[in-house]
Amino acid sequence: MFKEQNAVMSTYNRFPISIVKGEGSYVWDQNGIKYLDYTAGIGTCNLGHRPVTVESALQEQLSKLWHCSNLYTIPHQEQLAEKLTANSIFDQVFFCNSGAEANEAAIKLARRYAQKVKQTNQYEIVTFKQSFHGRTLATLYATGQEKIQDGFAPRTPGFRYLPYNDFDALDQLVQEETCAVMLELVQGEGGVNPADQAWLDQLVKLCKANDLLIIVDEVQTGMGRTGTLFAYEQYRIDPDIVTLAKGLGSGFPVGALLANNKVAQAFTPGSHGSTFGGNPLAMTAGSATLEQMTSSSFFPELSKNIEYLWLELQTVCKQFKQVKGLRGKGYLIGIEVEGQAVDYVHRAREEHQLLILVAGPKVIRLLPPLTTTKLEIDQFINTIKTIFAD
Ligand SMILES: *Cc1c(COP(=O)(O)O)cnc(C)c1O
């Protein structure tokens, strides 16, 4: 029987296995049992485990320099920032270490833009119910879920929640102190809820008309997860700020804030910082990851596999009555089930060596590596059919 070490604080409900090795779409536990990993480290290992190009780039950098602080220019930051801006609508990048830290930076930048550039007293950011933006004191109150906020009063001021995909609620969007809107285009942790295109278009129109910044949290949807490098491309919108983390370093911790010039000018030397942000190792992981994703065959290949997996899943949905619905975008997929989603997750792991996730009590969440092969997809589909057939 596995025992959690008492010296580690119990902030997680952990499954009773330890992962000791990973390669591609597979991981191995302490007993040498091999699992198909359709969690991809909760959407971080988008190129699978230890992608060769990222591993060799990191190994090379390991023998040169790990850290030097932001007192000096770091060419690795310039390289990754150039790659990110060349492949997006943005002009400038700030680097940090996690999704919450990227969203903190976005909140600070939006407020500072309102106060220093627009010269107003605006500070409020509208976010949405069922959203997830992180666990720091600002981002947990940006998050529209009470369970995340339980026991952490007093509330960090400056956030107001509206229901997601609700046209009527948009009437309340703009108030005197509002400076920005922050949202996920597919709510990940909150149940895999994609934004409705018509609702989003209406939201964007209101933001533009009232000079509110649009912050898109692409911590989970970014880095190819939904089938394009960024999800905003598919929705054909032009946010002012996008935040990234999870997939950016292929599992190496790194976060980023991308902004257009208009907004980025609000940060000046001394206004924001992060000791580890943009260190040479993290930047190397990010550059090697982006290099692979921007090769000409990457997204065409990915689109074919995404289409294949969705077609197979749609068949599964029709076949089994305990499946209530299928939603998401690309490889961020939610399967709504009858009964507790976590029961399926346990059975998949224990009886079929398949790792999957939940998003709320009723939804199974799949986050396959973007590099998963057609053969692995077949293996997954056969397994999920066996589980639903039991
Ligand atoms: C995971 C996640 C975060 C938080 O990222 P951390 O790296 O855990 O701080 C923020 N927003 C979204 C949409 C996420 O999925």
CATH topology of domain 19-51+299-389: Aspartate Aminotransferase, domain 1 (3.90.1150)
Q: Taking the CA atoms of 97, 289, 312 and 28 in sequence, report the sign of the dihedral they define.
A: negative
Task: Give the start-to-end residue ranges of the domains of the chain.
Answer: 19-51+299-389, 53-293
Residue 188 Cβ contacting ligand 1 at under 6 Å: yes
Residue 245 Cβ contacting ligand 1 at under 6 Å: yes
Residue 100 Cβ contacting ligand 1 at under 6 Å: yes
* 244 pLDDT above the threshold of 90: yes
Class of domain 53-293: alpha beta
Rounded Cα–Cα distance for residues 240 and 167 (Å): 22
Tokens of 252: 């190496």
Q: Rounded to 5 degrees, what are φ and ψ at 208?
A: -65, -45
Residue 337 Cβ contacting ligand 1 at under 6 Å: no
For residue range 261-272, what is the model confidence (pLDDT) as tens digits? 999 999 999 999
H-assigned helices in 8-62: 40-43, 52-62
Average pLDDT across the chain, whole number: 97
For residue range 60-88, what is the model confidence (pLDDT) as tens digits? 999 999 999 999 999 999 999 999 999 99
* 1 pLDDT above the threshold of 70: no
State the burial class of residue 18 (Cβ atoms within 10 Å of its Cβ: 0-12, 13-18, 19+).
exposed
Distance from residue 220's CA to the centre of ligand 1 (Å): 7
Distance from residue 231's CA to the centre of ligand 1 (Å): 15
Residue 33, amino acid: I
For residue range 132-144, what is the model confidence (pLDDT) as tens digits? 999 999 999 999 9
Q: Quick check: 49 and 251 in contact, CB under 8 A?
A: yes
* pTM for the model: 0.97
The packing angle between helices 280-293 and 298-319, to 10°, is 80
100 labelled binding-site residue = yes
CA angle 293, 297, 300 (to 5 degrees): 95
Region for residue 236 given its phi and psi (left: phi exceeds 0; alpha: psi -120 to 50; beta: otherwise): left
Burial 155-164 (b: 16+ CB within 10 A, else e): ebebbebbeb
Q: Quick check: 213 and 189 in contact, CB under 8 A?
A: no
Rounded Cα–Cα distance for residues 246 and 256 (Å): 10
Q: Position of tokens 């980023």?
A: 256
Nearest residue (by CA) to ligand 1, atom 5, is 99
Residue 231's closest CA among 75, 88, 107? 88
Residue 134 Cβ contacting ligand 1 at under 6 Å: yes
Compute the average pLDDT of residues 41-67: 98
Residue 219's closest CA among 108, 135, 335, 327? 135
Please state the atom number of ligand 1 nearest to the C-alpha of residue 102: 9
pLDDT value of residue 2: 57
For residue range 321-373, what is the model confidence (pLDDT) as tens digits? 999 999 999 999 999 999 999 999 999 999 999 999 999 999 999 999 999 99
